[in-house]
């Protein structure tokens, strides 16, 4: 139990601050999309990694704080992370094999 209760859950005010951060990250994502559309030098090879990075940040924030994964026992994290990593590895390998992802 000590492991589970080592961290205090956020307060409603902190939850609201997290939501504002998520909204801000979404605004940056949309801005990157329009930058890519309007500036020639800002190509997909520049914007795509940034967009993926922002999505990963939002993903981690929601899973960690809203789903409370960082406050749960490590067994829960292992189950959840295993499914996520297995799916990523499997489908990235499939998309590479079928030519949908190409390293330039």
- Footprint on this chain of other proteins (rule: CB under 8 A): 1, 4-5, 9, 11-12, 15-16, 18-19, 22-23, 26, 29-30, 32-34, 36, 44, 47-48, 51-52, 54-55, 58-59, 62-63, 66-68, 72-73, 75-76, 79-80, 82-84, 86-88, 90-91, 94-95, 98, 100-101
CB atoms within 10 A of CB 65: 19
Q: Nearest approach, Cβ of 46 to other proteins (angstroms)?
A: 12
Q: Nearest approach, Cβ of 30 to other proteins (angstroms)?
A: 5
Q: Nearest approach, Cβ of 45 to other proteins (angstroms)?
A: 11
Q: Nearest approach, Cβ of 104 to other proteins (angstroms)?
A: 14
Q: Are 70 and 62 in contact (CB under 8 A)?
A: no
* Secondary structure percentages of the chain, helix, strand, coil, to 5: 75, 0, 25
Cα–Cα distance for residue pair 59/68, rounded to 1 Å? 13
Q: Half-sphere exposure of 64 toward its Cβ, with a 13 Å CA cutoff?
A: 10
């Amino acid at each position: 139990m000590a492991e589970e209760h080592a961290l205090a859950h956020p307060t409603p005010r902190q939850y609201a601050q997290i939501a504002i951060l998520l909204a801000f990250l979404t605004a940056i994502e949309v801005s990157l999309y329009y930058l890519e559309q309007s500036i020639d030098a800002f190509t997909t090879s520049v914007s795509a990694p940034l967009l993926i990075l922002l999505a990963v940040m939002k993903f981690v924030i929601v899973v960690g704080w809203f789903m409370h994964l960082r406050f749960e026992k490590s067994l829960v994290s292992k189950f959840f992370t295993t499914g996520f990593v297995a799916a990523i590895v499997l489908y990235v390998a499939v998309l590479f094999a079928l030519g949908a992802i190409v390293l330039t």
